[in-house]
């Protein structure tokens, strides 16, 4: 999703949608990493992949450490990857049966929200989320 | 050198003001965005990253497009529309494209006329409209970039709110795009319209945008 103002306007849409960009790949890898950690019940690793605000909210809502709080969440096992959308420092990764929202930090992409189900036109209802 | 500066002071000063204010806008916008990110517990971005962000681009281009639209319309409308008493208007009775003789084109071109005013045909026809064409092209390009950058910025916000992104086509019908666009257009039209009317009655001594101080209020098309 990195782009430059002086780029010819006709190719801007392609650039902005991250056509083949490395950002999509980085997002996809972090999301897969999180799903692998959840599926392996490696809660420490899964917690490391949460954004700080999200991790804090998980701990505060459960009044317990992140690792045990996440274990209680019963996050869904996602199906096939359907779509990745990256805009600036935020991203949405849609799987069959689950949607993840991610945000970029200095050390890579972290989970803003997980276990999300759509409820249009309202925002997704997410079992794990910040704020 | 001094003569060059004096003879080009208008464009040099405005060029300098443009760069200074663009830098100022960049720093202010960067701090504003980082404040929002901080409030949401998100990672703050570097200044360099902000300069290439959709947020900065949409804020810049939404103003650019409206300025160029303003001047495009002013250049075109003042061919046909008049305002009694305004130095911004042509003299009454002179609405329209005027004759070749008045415009010094083709056979009526003078020795010091631009070559494209002399050659005739499509080249002179295009050159005769080149100011509007270029202003219009910059307007359309800026508006297009605003739409794309605005779309990316809008979707970045939607994702932070845990909502699906929308397509570029949907964004063109979205209130965010039209709010950004129309809030700039209305201010430009107000400024131009009020300039044309205020200059009927008010004066700025020495300015070509004003009539001479002693000119009567109903004198039209006279610049000081």
CB contact under 8 A, B145 and A118: no
- Which residue from B57, B144, B163 is facing A5, i.e. has the nearest CB? B57
Residue B35: pLDDT band with limits 50, 70, 90:
very high
CB contact under 8 A, A13 and B148: yes
Q: Quick check: B134 and B128 in contact, CB under 8 A? A: no
Q: Quick check: B184 and B63 in contact, CB under 8 A? A: yes
Q: pLDDT by residue (tens digit) across A58-86?
A: 999 999 999 999 999 888 888 899 999 99
CB contact under 8 A, B156 and A90: yes
B26 to chain A, any CB pair closer than 8 A? The answer is no
Every domain of chain A and the residues it spans: 23-129
- The sheet with strand A81-87 has its strands ordered as A81-87, A90-95, A98-105, A108-119, A122-129
Report the gap between the CA of B143 and the closest CA in chain A (Å).
10
Q: pLDDT by residue (tens digit) across B97-134?
A: 999 999 999 999 999 999 999 999 999 999 999 999 99
Chain B residue with Cα closest to A86: B156
B41 to chain A, any CB pair closer than 8 A? The answer is yes
Which residues in chain A have their CB less than 8 angstroms from residue B163's CB?
Answer: 123-124
Q: pLDDT by residue (tens digit) across A25-50?
A: 999 999 999 999 999 999 999 999 99
Chain A residue with Cα closest to B167: A17
CB contact under 8 A, B40 and A9: no
Give the integer Cα–Cα distance in Å for B103 and B99. 6
How distant, in Å, are the alpha carbons of A14, B104, B106 from that of B100? 46, 6, 7
Residue B180: pLDDT band with limits 50, 70, 90:
very high
Find all residues with CB under 8 Å of B63, minimum gap 6, and list them: B184
Q: What percent of chain B has pLDDT over 90?
A: 97
- Which residue from A12, A51, A123 is facing B41, i.e. has the nearest CB? A51
In this model, does residue A124 exceed pLDDT 90? yes
CATH 3.10.450 fits A23-129, yes or no: yes
Residue A6: pLDDT band with limits 50, 70, 90:
very low
Give the integer Cα–Cα distance in Å for B150 and A4. 14
CB contact under 8 A, A51 and B57: no
Chain B residue with Cα closest to A92: B159
B190 to chain A, any CB pair closer than 8 A? The answer is no
């Amino acid at each position: 999703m990195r782009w430059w103002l002086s780029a010819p306007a006709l190719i801007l849409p392609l650039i902005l949608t991250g056509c083949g960009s490395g950002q999509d790949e980085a997002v996809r890898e972090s999301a897969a990493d999180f799903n692998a950690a959840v599926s392996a019940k490696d809660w420490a690793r899964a917690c490391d992949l949460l954004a700080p605000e999200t991790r804090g909210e998980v701990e505060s809502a459960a009044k317990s450490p992140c690792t045990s709080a996440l274990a209680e969440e019963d996050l869904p096992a996602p199906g096939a990857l359907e779509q990745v959308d990256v805009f600036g420092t935020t991203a949405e990764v849609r799987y069959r049966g689950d949607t993840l929202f991610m945000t970029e930090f200095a050390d890579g992409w972290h989970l803003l929200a997980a276990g999300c189900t759509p409820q249009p036109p309202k925002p997704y209802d997410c079992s794990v989320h910040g704020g | 050198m001094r003569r060059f500066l004096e003879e080009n002071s208008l464009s040099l000063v405005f060029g300098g003001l443009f760069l200074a204010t663009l830098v100022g806008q960049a720093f202010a916008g960067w701090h504003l965005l980082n404040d929002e990110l901080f409030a949401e517990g998100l990672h703050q971005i570097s200044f360099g990253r902000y300069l290439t962000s959709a947020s900065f681009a949409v804020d810049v281009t939404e103003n650019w497009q409206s300025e160029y639209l303003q001047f495009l319309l002013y250049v075109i409308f003042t061919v046909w529309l008049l305002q009694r008493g305004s130095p911004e208007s042509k003299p009454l009775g002179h609405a329209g494209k005027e004759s070749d003789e008045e415009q010094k084109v083709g056979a009526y071109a003078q020795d010091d006329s631009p070559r494209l005013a002399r050659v005739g045909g499509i080249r002179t026809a295009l050159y005769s409209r080149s100011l509007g064409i270029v202003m219009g092209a910059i307007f359309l390009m800026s508006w297009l970039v605003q739409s794309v950058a605005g779309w990316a910025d809008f979707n970045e916000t939607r994702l932070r709110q845990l909502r699906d992104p929308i397509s570029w086509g949907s964004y063109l019908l979205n209130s965010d795009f039209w709010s950004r666009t129309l809030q700039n257009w209305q201010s430009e039209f107000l400024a131009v319209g009020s300039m044309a009317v205020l200059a009927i009655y008010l004066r700025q001594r020495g300015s070509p945008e004003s009539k001479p101080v002693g000119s009567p209020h109903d004198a039209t098309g006279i610049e000081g």
